[in-house]
Amino acid sequence: MNTSDSSHANRLNVLIVDDDPIAIEMLDYFLQEAGYNVERAANGKQALEKMRTFSPRIIISDVEMPEMNGIELCQTVRERHSTQYTYFILLTCHSDLKSVLLGLDSGADDYLSKPFHHEELRLRLEGGRRLLMLEGRDMMIFSLAKLAESRDTDTGTHLERIREYSKVLATELMNWPKFECVVDAQFVELIYLTSPLHDIGKVGIPDSVLLKPGKLTSEEFDIMKRHTLIGGETLYASANAYPEAGFIKMALDITLKHHERWDGTGYPFQLRGEQIPLCARIVAIADVYDALTTKRVYKDAYTHEEAARIIYDSRGTHFDPDLVDAFANVEEQMRAIRTRLDDAPPVASPTQPEKKSQETELMSASFTSS
């Protein structure tokens, strides 16, 4: 038995449902040996009763049982729309195609023939565990992002725009030979999922600073800068606990390093050039573009053209030159996202924003004090 697998399995509750005392004993023994928490029920009705006090992540059920059979149990579990997904395996002597289709149609995730083969069942359970982990991943990201959003002065669609911008930029890089070994479909999916977490550290910033309507003082800005470290610390613990979860590593890189600058003048670590992870360099552009084109209490929104000009002028200073070139290639897509997901009244063009230097605007976008 793979020990690392067992350590994860330890956290999973499994409910076995079978009216055959031999089958249930064998399954119970096998699952306990594999490190699962096991409860038993002799039929579907008993299983539902058991689920009032025991919350299974996986159910392994026979089909033919008195009172309530496995198909009915599976349908009932699916109709409940519970807050967490339950992986459902049907285990039965009926191995003909019609029975298999009936079982899967009831909402079962997997279908196994009796008598079960230990190694096969172990691998099927691993498949279930992976699916449940994915659910956990998406839920965790969504929850954290919503938490960050609740402390954000930006309006509702900011996070949505950030992930769309990041996805467009990353997708553009997929076609560049220089990035073909780094940026693939999975990278694009992960940055789409994790970029909304870039500011989760704001939950640790006091209201007096975070919600201040005007410019920040130098001291206040130092406090504000800590949001990268606060977010980083939060995700660092998760990254250590789940080293195989690549999405946490990317979320950590983005959260901690999206305010670094290509020329080494960013924060918190003054990283330079490719010391800054690619995902953080992508989100840096996405975040600044969004900040520039969004109206703030202390400034009007810049038009797309003005924001793009500022970004081009920061090529090689604030931003990775390649990323600025990528931005140029997808400029129209960026503009379209801004228009589609605009939750503020459109800027009357050509509105002249409050007169400021480009550098000041960039600094504002990065929370720099004036």
Partner 1 sequence: MSTTNAEIHTIPPIFDREGFLLRCMGNQALAKKLAVVFAGTLPKEQRDLHSAIETNELDQVRRIAHRVRGTAKNICAVPLAEAAFLVEHAAEQRDVALLYTHLESLKKQVEAILDELASGA
- Of 67 and 274, CB closest to partner 1: 67
Instruction: Return the range that interacts with partner 1 (CB under 8 A); candidates 24-32, 174-182, 190-198, 307-315.
Output: 24-32
* Among 18, 59, 14, 44, residue whose Cα is nearest residue 32: 14
Identify the DSSP state of 103: H
* Among 58, 128, 109, residue whose Cα is nearest residue 86: 58
- Of 34 and 170, CB closest to partner 1: 34
* Among 330, 283, 282, residue whose Cα is nearest residue 308: 330
The distance of closest approach from Cβ of residue 69 to partner 1 in the complex, given in angstroms and rounded to an integer, is 10
Among 5, 55, 64, 300, binds partner 1 (CB under 8 A): 64
> Cis link prior to 56 (omega < 30° from 0)?
no
- Of 121 and 310, CB closest to partner 1: 121
- Of 87 and 116, CB closest to partner 1: 116
Among 11, 21, 243, 265, binds partner 1 (CB under 8 A): 21
300 binds partner 1 (CB under 8 A): no
Instruction: Return the range that interacts with partner 1 (CB under 8 A); candidates 19-27, 128-136, 198-206, 311-319.
Output: 19-27
The distance of closest approach from Cβ of residue 36 to partner 1 in the complex, given in angstroms and rounded to an integer, is 15
Give 114's contacts (C-beta < 8 A, 6+ positions apart): 23, 62, 91, 92, 93
Total residues interacting with partner 1, rule: CB under 8 A: 18
The distance of closest approach from Cβ of residue 20 to partner 1 in the complex, given in angstroms and rounded to an integer, is 5
Instruction: Return the range that interacts with partner 1 (CB under 8 A); candidates 15-23, 70-78, 173-181, 259-267.
Output: 15-23
- Of 23 and 328, CB closest to partner 1: 23
313 binds partner 1 (CB under 8 A): no
Residue 58 phi/psi, 5-degree rounding, is -130, 135
Among 8, 40, 50, 114, binds partner 1 (CB under 8 A): 114
Give 269's contacts (C-beta < 8 A, 6+ positions apart): 257, 260
120 binds partner 1 (CB under 8 A): no
67 binds partner 1 (CB under 8 A): no
The distance of closest approach from Cβ of residue 28 to partner 1 in the complex, given in angstroms and rounded to an integer, is 10
Per DSSP, helices labelled H in the chain are 3-9, 21-33, 44-50, 70-79, 97-105, 118-150, 158-174, 185-194, 207-210, 218-241, 246-257, 278-292, 304-313, 321-329, 331-340, 358-365
118 binds partner 1 (CB under 8 A): yes
What CA–CA distance (Å, rounded) separates 307 from 335? Answer: 10
The distance of closest approach from Cβ of residue 23 to partner 1 in the complex, given in angstroms and rounded to an integer, is 5
Identify the DSSP state of 215: P
Interface residues for partner 1 in 27-46 (CB under 8 A)?
Answer: 29-30, 33
Both tokens of residue 64? Answer: 């033919």
**Three-state SS letters, 292-324:** HCCCECCECCCCHHHHHHHHHHCECCCECHHHH
26 binds partner 1 (CB under 8 A): yes
298 binds partner 1 (CB under 8 A): no
| Sheet with 87-92: strands ordered across | 37-41, 13-17, 58-61, 87-92, 110-113
95 binds partner 1 (CB under 8 A): no
Q: What is the greatest pairwise CA distance in the chain? A: 81
Kindly list the residues in this chain that would bind partner 1 in the complex (CB under 8 A).
19-23, 25-26, 29-30, 33, 62, 64, 66, 92-93, 114-115, 118
